[in-house]
Amino acid sequence: MTEIIILGAGNVGYHLANKFIETPDVKLVQIYNRNIESIRGFKKTTPITDNLTHLKKADIYIICVTDEIIPQIAKAIKHKEALIVHTSGSTPLDVLNFHTFYGVFYPLQTFSKNRKINFNTVPICIEVNKPEKLVLLENLGKKISNHVYHINSEQRKEIHKAAVFVNNFVNHLYYLGEQICKNSSIDPKILYPLIRETGKKIETLTPFEAQTGPARRGDIKTIQNHLNNLQSNNKEIYKLLSQSIADTYGQKL
Amino acid sequence: MTEIIILGAGNVGYHLANKFIETPDVKLVQIYNRNIESIRGFKKTTPITDNLTHLKKADIYIICVTDEIIPQIAKAIKHKEALIVHTSGSTPLDVLNFHTFYGVFYPLQTFSKNRKINFNTVPICIEVNKPEKLVLLENLGKKISNHVYHINSEQRKEIHKAAVFVNNFVNHLYYLGEQICKNSSIDPKILYPLIRETGKKIETLTPFEAQTGPARRGDIKTIQNHLNNLQSNNKEIYKLLSQSIADTYGQKL
């Protein structure tokens, strides 16, 4: 039985806590959050606290707070034999180096409170400072996911950057596409099959092979046509991404 | 039985031809392509030609060629009672106005030769110049898809533009994310669950609600960190999209 404590109940902490509560061989000993109200819902199953001096003992402390305050929260943990991990894609392992055993447990996924996640498919990127704690963390990952990767801090930073491109920026393009539809009184749902297929396509073709559209073809007339009635910011995005696609395929725009 | 002829066997024509061949109550009378070699594979089931003066008679001629040569191909069709449609998202209905009956049959999807499409879910956007041909075209759409929409030329142009954002640009971001992983010796497949979830998420949350990440949070430190080791073109893309996200949520970068 691995005993764990989760510190911070933002999007990541909230989903991890819910997952670990239902996971066999893991005991969620406590949840800490600076705002006790937002973890009140866990009270039935798990002790909660908003006081860092009341932290219980556990094998692994999982810190799920904003990057900047990870060290500050970690300092409150007084149990020297425990493994202290953070869950941040962009924060190096070393911010925890005042502890004896520390590591990273980074679930590579987009989490929103209102959407349940199937953890089995979520890649868990782990890293530890001392090899003797690797199996402990790896086993914790394997209890919730079929995809546990050993990823060092430098690689994790690159993965996180790639994730910004394929998630944050992609979702924003969905938003812009939706706005374009709404401005012409078209139900944005008309785009959903295309969005789904775009995501599924790259499981059988590489993104390089999967690319279609005016910039890929060097179809300047259509591009100009689109640019003519785009607003300033979206026009810049359209131009820059079209140019980047054209460059990728040696097309002249 | 609706008799149709497909002109042009690029990505769209190829997939439409294959779909109509297997569709009951539709007879694919002929396929035209200027390069006969690339339609040789259809010969077993359907007459093929590379000669526009040899076009047979049909109820509907579906033009699936590059936007610029749509009128030129359409002029070769001599059957005055037939309905002549193109399949282009960005071409107005009126480029066919030298015919008596003309229209648009625009499947809103990304087509690549090597990937089979489930047409049932593909939105078909139709438009005709004369109402008496609407039912004919609508029924053809309904034979292959559960989603047939009446969309005028102005709306279709906007949908096509939105499609460039949610498909062409999104796929290019997949490509850039993949490159970032490869440059750090990480298998890009690690991104796939995130890509899948990003696409599925907006079926339960709006893209506005679904947004996460540093620009959404106004996390300048992480953004700066990512920008530090991005190459010139990708850096511009990162900056512009992050700024656009930040503007959407009133964050200052």
Backbone angles phi, psi at B121, to 5 degrees: -95, -5
Interface touch A212/B109, C-beta < 8 Å: no
Q: Please report, rounded to a whole number, the percentage of residues in chain A having pLDDT higher than 90.
A: 93
Q: Does the pLDDT value for residue B180 go beyond 90?
A: yes
Q: Do A237 and B241 touch (CB under 8 A)?
A: yes
Two structure tokens written together for A195: 């969005």
pLDDT band for position B78 (cuts 50, 70, 90): very high
Asked if the model's pLDDT at residue A1 lies above 90, the reply is yes
pLDDT tens by residue, B229-239: 898 889 999 99
pLDDT band at A232 (very low <50, low <70, confident <90, very high): confident
Model pLDDT, residue B229: 85
Shortest distance between the Cα of B250 and any Cα of chain A, in A, equals 14
Per-residue pLDDT, A55: 97
* Nearest-angstrom CA–CA distance, B111 and B10: 9
So what's the pLDDT on residue A113?
A: 86
**Residue B204 corresponds to which amino acid?**
T
pLDDT at B177: 97
Rounded-to-integer distance, Cα A39 and Cα B166, Å = 36
B116 part of contact set with chain A, CB < 8 Å: no
pLDDT at residue number B92: 94
Task: Give chain A's mean pLDDT.
Answer: 95
Please compute, for residue B11, the number of CA atoms within 13 A of its CA located in the half-sphere on the CB side. 19
**Chain B 161-190, residues with CB within 8 Å of chain A CB atoms:** 161-178, 180-181, 183-186, 188, 190
Residue B114 tokens read as 């090597």
- Residue A231: pLDDT band (50, 70, 90) is confident
Cα B173 from chain centroid (whole Å): 18
- A173-221 pLDDT, tens digit each: 999 999 999 999 999 999 999 999 999 988 899 999 999 999 999 999 9
Q: Return the pLDDT at B231.
A: 84
Residue B68 with chain A: CB contacts under 8 Å: 221
* B chain contacts of residue A206, beta-carbon cutoff 8 Å: 175, 178
**pLDDT at site A203:** 85
Measured CA to CA, the distance from residue B53 to residue B140 in angstroms comes to 26
User: In sequence order, which residues have a C-beta less than 8 Å from that of residue B237 and are 6 or more positions away?
Assistant: A169, A240, A241, A244, B176
pLDDT digits (tens, 9 = 90+) for A22-73: 999 999 999 999 999 999 999 999 999 999 999 999 999 999 999 999 999 9
Separation CA B206–CA A154 (nearest Å): 33
Instruction: Assess contact for A56 and A77: CB atoms under 8 A.
Output: no
For the cut 90, the answer to whether the pLDDT of residue B113 exceeds it is no
Q: Which two tokens stand for residue B147?
A: 């989603």
The model's pLDDT over A126-182, given as tens digits with 9 standing for 90+, comes to 999 999 999 999 999 999 999 999 999 999 999 999 999 999 999 999 999 999 999
Q: What is the pLDDT of residues B6-52, one digit of tens each?
A: 999 999 999 999 999 999 999 999 999 999 999 999 999 999 999 99
Q: Is the distance from CB of B215 to CB of B224 less than 8 angstroms?
A: no
pLDDT category, B202, cuts 50, 70, 90? confident
Contact (CB, 8 A) for B171 and A208: no
Q: Residue A45 has what pLDDT?
A: 95
Tokens of A120: 């089995």
Q: What is the mean pLDDT of chain B?
A: 95
Q: State which residue of chain B sits closest to A191, comparing Cα positions.
A: B163
Mean pLDDT within A77-81: 94
SS3 A248: helix
Question: What does the pLDDT average to over A213-241?
Answer: 93
Q: Supply the pLDDT for residue B251.
A: 96
| Neighbouring C-beta atoms of residue A105, cutoff 10 Å | 25
Q: Which of residues 7-36 of A touch B (CB under 8 A)?
A: 11
CB–CB contact A114 B248 (8 Å): no
Cα–Cα distance list, A122 to A16, A93, A243, B34, B229 (Å): 12, 21, 33, 48, 26
Q: What pLDDT is stored for residue B203 in this prediction?
A: 86
Q: How confident is the model at residue B66 (pLDDT cuts 50, 70, 90)?
A: very high
Residues of A in contact with B240 (CB under 8 A): 236-237, 240
Please tell me the predicted confidence (pLDDT) of residue B112.
Answer: 87
